[in-house]
């Protein structure tokens, strides 16, 4: 596979105003995508964004580029990433474009694409867009320019779709739920979904101003949600990230429920109802306790590389429908074609209502192993993973764990970091072993 110049595992991302997240580049990206995508079909591309202030600028740049290539831009406004995947399918778009940097701070932004069926663009299409970016930009004749239109009822359409994934004979009456929308793309969607299904909703993180997305709120900063659940004596809390494709939950005691636990609850419930198709896909970072708990239920489990793209690849390869990451990015192909925080939350609530128990009881069968992650910066151009001392320390740690834990070293895909992860039954032991291994890495940068 040819290496990519611009696209990472989740589109193109960076700091706004710094290449490539500049108006000039994004306009040409829109043009290049338009040239590649305009060879067949409706010549219509849907564009959605999260609530970052830079979204307006980048939306206009994409619209201009697409128009120059002769494609129509259908503007959705602030919408969750999974909503754009869904609407791309229902509007029969040539593609969907998301302007978002997910859980990053407001000063970052990014561009990612969905194909006409709501899945990530195939590798060959991304490579074709990259090749087109190297060509000089031109413009179709005036009578061929693409028009722009705005879909004003996009939020309502997606709200109804989310509700349709929850059984019509069930309701959320009597449940008090705290929602943290991270001042992001779910702020005007999620509260309506849960309220219309009957829940009492306490809202937080629903006042975006362009600069406060993910700022001490959302799934990456759940302490405020924990406090709110306890203070309001709520049944549970749900926090989404800035673009709504991942979630973290909190039970009535204020205990966090992460992606591994959510995945377990969904898999167990699907098996109970006889609708689990095959097994479950996690990642290299999925907690070992998840694997063991699923094995007790005789549910197959596979690990993909970190990243929803790789989870999706394994799901497709095996014909399975449920996978995800411990960060809370949950893919349920029974319901949507990409990770969807709102729909994952609804499936957990379905299990709660169906069994008549609380979230704490549902997650009680799974006790996660302590997992310590140490990030170590290294000198660009070196390969710490090949260092003999590092390898020796990994082997020593694995011998001490004796099959009752895991050691994982991997390079970050976005910066010169080695991520040292150790997990096992004993917190003090895994902390000591992670630091022991990490201590061998800084010497490489001296």
Q: Quick check: 277 and 300 in contact, CB under 8 A?
A: no
Residue 329: which pLDDT band, with cuts at 50, 70 and 90?
A: very high
Residue 64 confidence (pLDDT): 98
Between 434 and 42, whose confidence is greater? 434
Interior angle at CA 231, CA 216 and CA 252, nearest 5: 90
The pTM (predicted TM-score) of the whole model is 0.93
Residue 213, pLDDT above cutoff 90: yes
DSSP class of residue 11 equals B
Residue 248, pLDDT above cutoff 50: yes
Q: Quick: pLDDT tens for 358-368.
A: 999 999 989 99
What does the alpha-carbon distance between residue 444 and residue 446 come to, in Å, rounded to a whole number? 6
Q: Quick check: 86 and 158 in contact, CB under 8 A?
A: yes
The answer to whether the Cα torsion of 302, 304, 306, 308 is positive or negative is negative
**Pick from 166, 249, 236, 231: which is nearest to 200 by CA?**
236
Question: What's the whole-number mean pLDDT along residues 246-263?
Answer: 98
DSSP class of residue 8 equals B
Between 442 and 278, whose confidence is greater? 278
Residue 414 confidence (pLDDT): 65
Backbone angles phi, psi at 336, to 5 degrees: -145, 170
- DSSP assignment string, 208-258: --SS-TTSS-STT-THHHHHHHHHTT-SEEEEE-TTSS-EEEEETTS-EE-
List CB contacts of 70: < 8 A, sequence separation 6 or more. 34, 38, 43, 140, 144, 145, 146
> Can 219 be counted among the known catalytic residues?
no
Q: What class is the 173-254 domain?
A: alpha beta
Residue 382, pLDDT above cutoff 80: no
As a whole number, the mean pLDDT across the chain is 94
In this chain, the answer to whether the domains covering 12-152 and 371-445 adopt an identical fold is: no
Residue 9 confidence (pLDDT): 78
Residue 446: which pLDDT band, with cuts at 50, 70 and 90?
A: very low
Residue 349 confidence (pLDDT): 98
Residue 58 confidence (pLDDT): 98
Q: Quick check: 220 and 214 in contact, CB under 8 A?
A: yes
**Superfamily of chain region 12-152:** Alpha-D-Glucose-1,6-Bisphosphate, subunit A, domain 3 (3.40.120.10)
List CB contacts of 193: < 8 A, sequence separation 6 or more. 159, 162, 163, 342, 346
Q: Which of 54, 67, 100, 102 is catalytic?
A: 102
| CATH 1.50.10.20 for the 371-445 domain, yes or no | no
Residue 445 confidence (pLDDT): 47
Domain ranges of the chain: 12-152, 173-254, 258-368, 371-445
Residue 2, pLDDT above cutoff 90: no
What does the alpha-carbon distance between residue 293 and residue 297 come to, in Å, rounded to a whole number? 7
What does the alpha-carbon distance between residue 93 and residue 86 come to, in Å, rounded to a whole number? 10
Residue 102 confidence (pLDDT): 95
Start-to-end Cα distance in the chain: 34
What is the second-level CATH architecture of the domain 258-368? Answer: 3-Layer(aba) Sandwich (3.40)
The answer to whether the Cα torsion of 375, 377, 383, 386 is positive or negative is negative
Radius of gyration of the chain (CA): 22
For 402: left if phi > 0, alpha if psi spans -120 to 50, otherwise beta; the answer is left
Residue 71 confidence (pLDDT): 96
Residue 444, pLDDT above cutoff 60: no
Residue 138 confidence (pLDDT): 97
Instruction: Please report where in the chains the tokens 């976005």 appear, as a residue.
Output: 414
Residue 95, pLDDT above cutoff 90: yes
% of the chain residues with pLDDT over 90: 89
What does the alpha-carbon distance between residue 413 and residue 307 come to, in Å, rounded to a whole number? 10
Residue 40 confidence (pLDDT): 60
Instruction: Decide: residue 297, CB within 10 A, 0-12 exposed, 13-18 middle, 19+ buried.
Output: middle
Residue 343 confidence (pLDDT): 98
């Amino acid at each position: 596979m040819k290496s990519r110049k611009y696209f990472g595992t989740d589109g193109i991302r960076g700091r706004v105003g710094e290449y490539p997240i500049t108006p000039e580049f994004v306009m040409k990206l829109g043009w290049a995508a338009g040239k590649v995508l305009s060879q067949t079909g409706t010549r219509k591309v849907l564009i959605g964004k999260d609530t970052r202030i830079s979204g307006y600028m980048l939306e206009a740049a994409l619209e201009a580029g697409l128009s120059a290539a002769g494609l129509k831009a259908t503007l959705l406004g602030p919408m969750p990433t999974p909503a754009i995947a869904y609407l791309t399918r229902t509007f029969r778009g040539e593609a969907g474009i998301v302007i978002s940097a997910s859980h990053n701070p407001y000063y970052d932004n990014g561009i990612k694409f969905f194909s006409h069926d709501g899945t990530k663009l195939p590798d060959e299409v991304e490579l074709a867009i990259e090749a087109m970016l190297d060509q000089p930009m031109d413009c179709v004749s005036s009578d061929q320019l693409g028009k722009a239109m705005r879909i004003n009822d996009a939020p309502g359409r997606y709200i109804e779709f989310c509700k349709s994934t929850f059984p019509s004979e069930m309701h959320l009456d009597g449940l008090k739920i705290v929602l943290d929308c991270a001042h992001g793309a779910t702020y005007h969607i999620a509260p309506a979904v849960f309220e219309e299904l009957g829940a009492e909703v306490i809202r937080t993180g629903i006042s975006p101003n362009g600069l406060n997305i993910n700022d001490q709120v959302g799934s990456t900063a759940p302490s405020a949600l924990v406090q709110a659940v306890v203070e309001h004596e709520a049944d549970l809390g749900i926090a989404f990230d800035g673009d709504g494709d991942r979630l973290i939950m909190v039970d009535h005691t204020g205990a966090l429920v992460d992606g591994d636990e959510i995945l377990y609850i969904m898999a167990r419930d699907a098996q109970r109802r006889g609708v689990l198709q095959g097994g479950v896909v996690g990642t290299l970072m999925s907690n070992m306790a998840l694997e063991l708990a699923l094995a007790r239920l005789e549910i197959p489990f596979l690990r993909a590389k970190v990243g929803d793209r790789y989870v999706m690849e394994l799901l497709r390869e095996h014909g399975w429908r449920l996978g995800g990451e411990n960060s809370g990015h949950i893919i349920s192909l029974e319901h949507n074609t990409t990770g969807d925080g709102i729909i994952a939350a609804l499936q957990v609530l379905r299990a709660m209502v169906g069994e008549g128990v609380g979230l704490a009881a549902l997650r009680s069968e799974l006790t996660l192993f302590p997992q310590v992650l140490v990030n170590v910066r290294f000198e660009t151009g070196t390969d710490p993973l090949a260092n003999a001392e590092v390898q020796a320390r990994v082997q020593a740690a694995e011998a001490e764990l004796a099959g009752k834990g895991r050691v994982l070293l991997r390079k970050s895909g976005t910066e010169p970091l080695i991520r040292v992860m150790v997990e096992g039954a004993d917190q003090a032991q895994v902390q000591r072993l992670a630091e022991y291994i990490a201590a061998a890495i800084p010497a490489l940068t001296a």
